[in-house]
């Protein structure tokens, strides 16, 4: 398997093509977007952008292929999943380096992303179990009822830049295991990992046309949302876009799961191990330069722990190395684009004006070259109403909110419109249990700062962090990507035939 990976110089720009019908298609009308190496700021390639007509043609090709895949025996589908797992496992370093070249995260972080994506592949190797139906005999005299799961048809997966391998594996693996064909629209900022995955699926034995990678911008997205052939849409991204996708796709009669933004709080109680809490806060806030929807962006310090905790976090920040993701000494890489860097910088710059105290200013770090780098920032004395608190930053900025007690911490979190993930650090079981019970957030960690569920559970938040009723991957994903059909059966004796216009009962 081979893929054109972006080089690290301005010369010899590569072209990232679509992958439709089992082959790469590079020319779809002339529109192209830039691909950068975030560590150097240099343009390393370009990605072909699909027109609305190309999206529609890809959906028709997927529809033509899907019937044959639906008819494929479950055991053969299962073998594709087993082979896919082996291909990705054996070449994880290759995929991780592609991610680092276009996203900027460290290679170790990219390897972790691949490993978490593989969890869902492994979950889908048990597809025979996940697709089982139900059966009840003799519900009435000589009448049996059974329920089966059938694929939706053609589904679309619109994935974000921050996890260019993991989130596609969360979506497309389950959709394909369930018997659907997929249009995958990855982020145009780091598109190569999606093509690598499509070629891995093909090598694993997936028939042509079942997984199609279509690159694009809003024109492609709107075509996906409007095309009647595409019957379901999965999305991960910001809340405004999630809300837009949910509304437009649902208005067109599609199933939708649209995961939005986050403002994840980590509560530190007075009895917590402050060293462990500080380690967790730094790891969860600054990993992948904060470009994670499950990153901790707010520490809620309860009582007198705030001062010592802020000092411990600041000490740890000083020891972090920020640099090229390919450098094994780097703890944190750059942000993905100049626009992202400008946005994060604006939050740090505005925090002091809003009355907060910038304890560590990431803008003060000096970097060689023109990469999209900023150091970790720590802001104390933050309160609701400040922009640094109210908005999703999606960068390496950690805010500290001070509250007097447990009840105020819970009230603060429950008042936030985002409800993706949260955590509490405490040694007290009663406090932990009460937090778990009271908190209105979809994913909760007890002394775990980033409570992303393992592959056997499902991922998703509440409130403005999720639009739709179904969470991602795990058991709920098989429900999303299948439709249930109930069949009622009777084999009567011909001599018993009779006409009855009454409502059917037992």
Model pLDDT for residues 91-132, shown as the tens digit of each residue: 999 999 999 999 999 999 999 999 999 999 999 999 999 999
User: Does residue 157 contact residue 175 with C-beta atoms inside 8 Å?
Assistant: yes
Judge whether residue 322 has pLDDT over 50.
yes
Greater model confidence, 275 or 493:
275
The H-or-E segment that residue 181 falls in is strand 181-185
Which of 159, 164, 157 shows the shortest CA–CA distance to 192?
A: 164
* pLDDT level of residue 3 (50, 70, 90 thresholds): very low
Provide the β-strand partners of residue 302. 403
* pLDDT level of residue 506 (50, 70, 90 thresholds): low
Q: How far apart are CA 95 and CA 250, in angstroms?
A: 34
Q: How far apart are CA 76 and CA 72, in angstroms?
A: 7
Contacts of 443 (CB under 8 A, 6+ apart): 294, 420, 421, 422, 451, 452, 453, 459, 460, 461
The mean per-residue pLDDT over the stretch 403-428 comes to 98
User: Does residue 451 contact residue 445 with C-beta atoms inside 8 Å?
Assistant: yes
Percent pLDDT > 90 in the chain is 93
Render pLDDT for 34-75 as a digit per residue (tens, 0 to 9): 999 999 999 999 999 999 999 999 999 999 999 999 999 999
* pLDDT level of residue 386 (50, 70, 90 thresholds): very high
Percent pLDDT > 70 in the chain is 97
* pLDDT level of residue 404 (50, 70, 90 thresholds): very high
User: Does residue 268 contact residue 301 with C-beta atoms inside 8 Å?
Assistant: yes
Render pLDDT for 338-371 as a digit per residue (tens, 0 to 9): 999 999 999 999 999 999 999 999 999 999 889 9
What are the residue numbers of the active site? 293
Domains and CATH numbers, the chain: 14-260+465-486 (3.40.605.10), 264-446 (3.40.309.10)
Render pLDDT for 244-302 as a digit per residue (tens, 0 to 9): 999 999 999 999 999 999 999 999 999 999 999 999 999 999 999 999 999 999 999 99
For the chain, what is the mean pLDDT?
A: 95
Which of 124, 200, 117, 130 shows the shortest CA–CA distance to 159?
A: 117
Q: Which two tokens stand for residue 179?
A: 């018997």
* pLDDT level of residue 172 (50, 70, 90 thresholds): very high
Q: How far apart are CA 190 and CA 39, in angstroms?
A: 13
Whose tokens are 């939708």? That residue is 256
Q: What separation in angstroms does the CA of 454 have from each of 106, 222, 485?
A: 22, 32, 29
Which of 479, 473, 471 shows the shortest CA–CA distance to 259?
A: 471
* pLDDT level of residue 381 (50, 70, 90 thresholds): very high
Q: What share of the chain is helix, strand, coil (3-state, %, to 5)?
A: 40, 25, 35
pLDDT of amino acid 493? 81
Pairing of strands 462-463, 418-419: antiparallel
The mean per-residue pLDDT over the stretch 212-229 comes to 98
Q: Is 170 exposed, middle or buried (0-12, 13-18, 19+ CB in 10 A)?
A: buried
């Amino acid at each position: 398997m081979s893929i054109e990976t972006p080089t690290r110089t301005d010369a010899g720009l590569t072209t990232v093509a679509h992958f439709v019908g089992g082959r790469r298609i590079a020319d779809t009308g002339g529109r192209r977007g830039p691909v950068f190496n975030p560590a150097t700021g240099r343009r390393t390639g370009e990605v072909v952008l699909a027109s609305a007509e190309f999206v529609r043609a890809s959906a028709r090709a997927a529809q033509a292929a899907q019937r044959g895949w639906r008819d494929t025996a479950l055991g053969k589908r299962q073998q594709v999943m087993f082979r896919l797992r082996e291909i990705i496992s054996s070449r994880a370093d290759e995929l991780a380096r592609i991610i680092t070249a276009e996203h900027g995260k460290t290679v170790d972080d990219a390897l972790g992303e691949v490993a978490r994506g593989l969890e869902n592949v492994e979950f889908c190797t048990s597809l025979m179990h996940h697709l089982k139906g139900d059966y009840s005999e003799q519900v009435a005299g000589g009448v049996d009822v059974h329920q089966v799961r059938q694929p939706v048809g053609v589904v679309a997966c619109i994935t974000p830049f921050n996890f260019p391998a993991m989130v596609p594996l969360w979506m497309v693996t389950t959709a394909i295991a369930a018997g659907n064909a997929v249009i995958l629209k990855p982020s145009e900022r780091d598109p190569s990992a999606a093509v690598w995955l499509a070629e891995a699926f093909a090598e694993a034995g997936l028939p042509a046309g079942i997984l199609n990678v279509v690159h694009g911008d809003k024109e492609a997205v709107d075509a996906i949302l409007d095309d009647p052939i595409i019957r379901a849409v999965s999305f991960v991204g910001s809340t405004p876009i999630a809300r837009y996708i949910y509304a437009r796709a649902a208005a067109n009669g599609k199933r939708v799961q649209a995961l939005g933004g986050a403002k994840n709080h980590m509560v530190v109680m007075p009895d917590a191990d402050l060293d462990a809490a500080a380690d967790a806060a730094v790891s969860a806030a600054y990993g992948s330069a904060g470009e994670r929807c499950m990153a901790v962006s707010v520490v809620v310090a309860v009582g007198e722990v705030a001062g010592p905790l802020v000092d411990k976090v600041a000490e740890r920040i000083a020891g972090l190395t920020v640099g090229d993701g390919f450098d094994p000494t780097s703890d944190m890489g750059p942000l993905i684009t100049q626009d992202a860097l400008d946005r994060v910088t604006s939050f740090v710059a505005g925090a002091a004006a809003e009355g907060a105290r910038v304890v560590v200013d990431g803008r003060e770090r000096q970097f060689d070259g023109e990469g999209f780098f900023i150091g970790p920032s720590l802001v104390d004395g933050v309160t609701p109403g400040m922009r640094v608190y109210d908005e999703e930053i999606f960068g390496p900025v950690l805010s500290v909110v001070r509250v007097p007690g447990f009840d105020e911490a819970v009230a603060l979190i429950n008042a936030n419109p985002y409800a993706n993930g949260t955590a509490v650090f405490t040694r007290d079981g009663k406090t932990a249990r009460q937090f778990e019970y009271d908190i209105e957030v979809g994913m909760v960690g007890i002394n775990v700062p980033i409570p992303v569920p393992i592959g056997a559970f499902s991922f998703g938040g509440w409130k403005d962090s999720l639009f739709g009723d179904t969470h991602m991957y795990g058991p709920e994903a098989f429900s999303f990507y299948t439709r249930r059909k109930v069949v009622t059966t009777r084999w009567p004796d011909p001599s018993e035939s009779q006409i009855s216009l009454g409502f059917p009962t037992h």
